[in-house]
Amino acid sequence: MGPLARPGPRGLRPLLCIAALTLLPVVGAFVLYLHPEWAPEGRVHHGVLVEPPHPLADPLLTMQTGEPFSTRAWQGRWTLLRVLGDCGPECRTDIETLIRIHLLLGTHQERLQPVVALFATGTEPTLRRVMEDFPGTLALHADGALGADGKREGPFGAGPGLYVLDPEVRVILRYAPGFDPFGVLKDLKRLLKYSWLG
């Protein structure tokens, strides 16, 4: 057989095996992203997986000016949303932790945006002063997530905490107050490593 002859079936078999081995991790990651319940028991999330993912509706959030905020602006990127009950003494520390997690993502920073949302509008002046030290970080109100009886509804029904939204603006992970920042960082790095979304 000459040097330019087409390989036979035996010559193609190793190439097909290499191609299959190359694609297997990608396909596996995609399947686990769609069906996290199929993941091995040994895998640990530091947050609570929201099943099914909860879409974030527009009326839930408003700008500090009182104007409605459209979550369409978040489509195509991951969002790390820190929801606060009020802006009390720990407010600055909470926001600093959010920014630090974002910075520690390194090369993945551009794929994720940090956002702060506040339930209690009474501490808005305090939040506004704190946010002056964090230019480029969006601050919103989550008062639209309160029902007529004052109880929290929708994706923020569990109350204050840290929420991860996917590029389709759906809440997929929640971390309760007092979360471990390094645990969040580990989860985010794993998530962004195996997801080509956003």
SS3 content of the chain, % helix, strand, coil (to 5): 45, 20, 35
Return residue ranges of the chain for CATH 3.40.30.10: 46-194
Span 68-92, mean pLDDT? 86
pLDDT bracket for residue 185 (50, 70, 90): very high
Span 101-113, mean pLDDT? 90
CATH topology of domain 46-194: Glutaredoxin (3.40.30)
Looking only at the bridges linking them, the beta strands covering 78-84 and 112-118 are: parallel
Could you tell me what percent of the chain has a pLDDT over 70? 72
CA angle 96, 51, 143 (to 5 degrees): 50
Give the list of residues 6+ apart from residue 46 with CB closer than 8 angstroms, or none.
175, 179, 180, 183, 184, 186, 187
Residue 90 DSSP class: T
pLDDT bracket for residue 122 (50, 70, 90): low
pLDDT bracket for residue 152 (50, 70, 90): low
Q: How far apart are CA 135 and CA 137, in angstroms?
A: 6
Give pLDDT, residue 119.
77
The token pair that represents 196 in the structure block: 């080509």
pLDDT tens digits along 23-77? 776 666 666 555 655 555 444 568 888 888 888 876 678 887 778 888 888 888 8
